[in-house]
Every structure is written in structure tokens, then in C-alpha cells.
Amino acid sequence: MEFEKYVNLGREIGLSGQELLDFAQNRETIEKKERAKSEKEAREDRERVRKHVMEMKELELRLREAQVARGTQEPEISLSRRVKLPQLSPFQDGRDEIDDYLSRFQTFATAAGWPESQWASLLSTLLTGRALAVYAAIYAGCRVM
């Protein structure tokens, strides 16, 4: 089909016979080479991107391995999956002693394998009444500092 397009183009510029045939073949060859070059460049670009992504993943893996080896990485509780919350009832003013409740929470959090850096957030979901008000005041004070 491309060949016919070049034949028509050659006729428009006044070519005929062998000259027309040579013109159409040359144009078709040039276009095929350009298309092949463009496709090759696109493949090379995709390969570069793929290699870059693989290198980034390799670096992330090495970083995680180094953090684990140094003991600096704490596992995170994933928010994207449902975490089964404790069978620990919320703190009740007047019924629970705060020291006993915090001790139970610490025991449970340790057994559940929660990282200590996330205990405060998890504890806040179980506090009510004055205990929650005190927690909120302490948290607000920490954020200001």
C-alpha cells in the first residue's frame, strides 16, 4: 500500500517509467528503515526503563537487608490489610486502673508483635473519657515541640 502511495506521489511530480519505479522503491525503503529505527529506539527505551525499575527494586531490597542486618527496620502494620484488633476492651474510667490497663496493653502488643513505635496510635483507639483527653493533651504537646 505504501508503494502505491509513492507511485502516485511520483506521478504528481512528473515522474514516469523506470524513474517513477526507482523513486517509489527508494521512498518505500527509506520509510521502512525509519520505521525500523523508530521501533528499535522504542524497544531500547522500554528496555532501559525495565532495567532502571529492576535496579531500583534491587537497591530497595539491599536497603531493607542492610536495615534488617543492623536491626534498624521495624515491621510496619499494614493499613491496606485488615488487622484483627485485640480482644482488649476499651479503657473505662472508674472501672479500670490506668496502670493495670497499660500493663495489659503492653503485654498484648508485645505478644501481637506490634512495633513499639506504633503502640501509642493503637492505644489511643482503646482509650475513652479522661484517659483519652489526657492522651490528646500529651499528643498535642508533643507535636508543638
pLDDT of 32 reads: 92
Structural contact between residues 86 and 124, judged by C-beta atoms closer than 8 angstroms: no
What pLDDT band is residue 67 in, cutting at 50, 70 and 90?
confident
- Flag whether pLDDT at 128 surpasses 70: yes
| Mean pLDDT over the full length of the chain | 81
As to burial, measured by CB atoms within 10 angstroms (0-12 exposed, 13-18 middle, 19+ buried), residue 113 is exposed
Cell (9 digits) for 22: 526507482
Average pLDDT over residues 22-35: 92
pLDDT of 31 reads: 92
Average pLDDT over residues 55-68: 83
Residue 84 gets which letter from DSSP?
Answer: P
| Alpha carbon 114 to chain centroid, angstroms | 23
pLDDT of 79 reads: 45
Residue 14, φ and ψ in degrees, nearest 5:
95, 15
- Flag whether pLDDT at 19 surpasses 90: yes
Average pLDDT over residues 32-50: 88
- Residue written as grid cell 517509467: 17
What pLDDT band is residue 25 in, cutting at 50, 70 and 90?
very high
pLDDT of 21 reads: 92
Altogether, the residues listed in the chain come to a count of 145
